[in-house]
Amino acid sequence: MADFPAFSVTADLVVLTVQGNELRVLLVRRGIEPYRGAWALPGGFVLPDEDLDAAAVRELREETGLTAPVGHLEQLASYGAPGRDPRGRVVTVAYLALLPHLPAPVAGSDAEGAAWVALPPGELAFDHARILADGVERARAKLEYSPLATAFCPPEFTITELREVYETVWDARLDPRNFHRKVTGTPGFVEPVGRSIAAERGRPAQLFRRGPARLLHPPMLRPTP
C-alpha cells in the first residue's frame, strides 16, 4: 500500500433533531484554519486502528455526550473530490444521525462552540453544505418507508409528537385523524405503553414507544402539494 498513501479519512456527522417546529442540525464553529470561524459539520479524523462506524460513534459521543444507544446512526455517503480540503487529499465518510432533542446542553465538545442551528444554515465550511443537503434529503425520504421518525422522539411519545416530527421534517401538514389511523394501524410501527400523559390543553394522549418494524408496508406518503 505504499504506492497510494496520500489520503486522510475523516468521519463527519449530519446530526439532526426536531425542536419546536424546526429541523435543526448540530454545527461547530471551526477554531483553526482553514475556514476558521465558519460553521462546519462535527467530525474528525478516523484513527489509525479504528473502524469507520466506530469513528462516527466516537465523534457523536464527543460532540453530544451521548453514550446510551438512543436515536439512529447510519452511513450517509463519502465525499472525496480533489481540492475539497485545501490542506490535502481528504476523503470524508459522512454519517447521518437522528436524535431526540437533548435537554442537556451540548457537552464535551472540543470545538470552539457547538450549537443547534435551524435549517437552512448560512455558509458552511468545505463542501459541508452539500453533505448536509444530502443528509436532510435522506432523512426526508426515510421517513416515508421506515419508522425512523421515532428516532427524533424520546423513548415514550404521543402520536401527536410523532406527527409533529413528520410535519417538521417534511414541512407539510398532515391530517391528525388519518395520521393516527395510519400509525396505529401499521404493524410494528409503534406499541402502546398503556399510560397516558396530559398536555397543556385538551384530552390526554396515550403514550407509545417505537415498535420492532424496520420498514413500513405500505409506506407513509408525503402529501403531493
Q: Residues 36, 176, 191, 214: which binds DNA (CB under 7 A)?
A: 176
Provide the mask over 4-23, with x wherever binding to a copy of itself is found by CB under 8 A and - wherever it is not.
xxxxxx--------------
Q: Please state whether the peptide bond connecting residue 42 to the residue before it is cis, i.e. omega within 30 degrees of 0.
A: no
Q: Residues 31, 34, 37, 80: which binds a copy of itself (CB under 8 A)?
A: 80
Residue 213: how many CB atoms within 10 A of its CB?
A: 16
Q: Residues 36, 155, 199, 214: which binds DNA (CB under 7 A)?
A: 199
69 binds a copy of itself (CB under 8 A): no
User: What is the Cα–Cα distance from 205 to 202, expressed in whole angstroms?
Assistant: 9
217 binds a copy of itself (CB under 8 A): yes
Min separation Cβ 80 and a copy of itself, Å: 4
Backbone angles phi, psi at 152, to 5 degrees: -80, -10
Nearer CB in complex with a copy of itself: 134/167: 134
The answer to whether 125 touches 38, Cβ cutoff 8 Å, is: yes
Q: Residues 36, 61, 101, 181: which binds DNA (CB under 7 A)?
A: 181
Burial class of residue 55, CB neighbours in 10 A (0-12, 13-18, 19+): buried
29 binds a copy of itself (CB under 8 A): no
The answer to whether 40 touches 126, Cβ cutoff 8 Å, is: yes
The answer to whether 182 touches 222, Cβ cutoff 8 Å, is: no
Written as nine digits, the cell of 22 is: 424546526
Strand partners, 79: 92
184 binds DNA (CB under 7 A): yes
> What single-letter amino acid sits at 113?
G
In the list a copy of itself, DNA, none, the entry touching 203 (Cβ below 5 to 8 angstroms by class) is DNA
Backbone angles phi, psi at 14, to 5 degrees: -105, 100
Segment near DNA (CB under 7 A); pick from 50-58, 95-103, 129-137, 191-199? 191-199
Min separation Cβ 83 and DNA, Å: 44
For the chain, the straight-line distance linking the first and the last C-alpha, in angstroms and rounded, comes to 53
Q: Residues 22, 36, 78, 156: which binds a copy of itself (CB under 8 A)?
A: 78
Written as nine digits, the cell of 86 is: 485545501
Q: Residues 33, 69, 224, 225: which binds a copy of itself (CB under 8 A)?
A: 224
177 binds DNA (CB under 7 A): yes
Please report, as ranges, the residues that interact with a copy of itself according to CB under 8 A: 1-9, 45-46, 48-52, 75, 77-82, 85, 87-91, 93, 145, 217-219, 221, 224
